[in-house]
Structure 1
Amino acid sequence: MTANPHPHADPDCRAVSELLGRVGDKWTVLIVKALVEKARRFNELKREVGGISQQMLTRTLRTLERDGMVARTVHPTVPPAVEYALTDLGRSLAVPVLALADWTFAHLPQIHAHRAAYDAAESQAA
């Protein structure tokens, strides 16, 4: 058996790459983090995930629903109340996603300090 000279040409590699891009997206991480606590309505999610546009929230929720990570429930009220919740698959994604989010928040000051030092050194070298 010969090695594939173009591993990303493999359909499985493309699928994994696409999915990693989606689940590693900042909006996905923040939405999953918000939904771990409880099911939420759209506007509640929008408030919880600061800085996300209505269009991006809609797009990300639809993608997560399509992938089976988020369930959308429409309650028969007037007007209809729509709630979003993590599915079992979404809850399993929450474990690594929350670990990544926690790591990011814990190390943010350190990363900012390193960026500032790097940028200062680069501007002196230029």
Structure 2
Amino acid sequence: MTLLDTARTVRENAYAPYSNFKVGAALKAASGKVYAGCNVENVAYPEGTCAEAGAIAAMVAGGDTEIAELFVIADSPKPVSPCGGCRQKIAEFAKGDVIVTLATTDGTTLQTTVAALLPGSFDADYMSKV
């Protein structure tokens, strides 16, 4: 199963009763394992979980900590980009040159990189003591 197939399938499991905006994400870890996540809304909107964050959590729970590729799909007029918080989460586990494919359910895709999604990302180098 491809990352597209995995993301498309998990998207159907999204819990989005408030926005009806279902998102699926699938990532391949450096180990080659594939992990998936879907958005999970909550009536208290800020308490929801994005699909990308769910896939990253599944990856970490599975014992992996490096993203090798990421695919995100939603039923939208153009490929949907991860929110700012998810961009930071992705950058925590992926090198800047990692390919991120954004897609619509009708087949439109856009490929980008982690660095293009979050230029100037806040990383562990800022936490080093001088």
The TM-score range, normalised by the shorter chain, is: under 0.3
Structure with greater Cα Rg: 1
Higher relative contact order (CA 8 A, sep 6+): 1
Of Structure 1 and Structure 2, which has the larger fraction of its residues in strand?
2
The alignment's TM-score, normalised by the length of structure 1, stands at: 0.23
The alignment's TM-score, normalised by the length of structure 2, stands at: 0.22
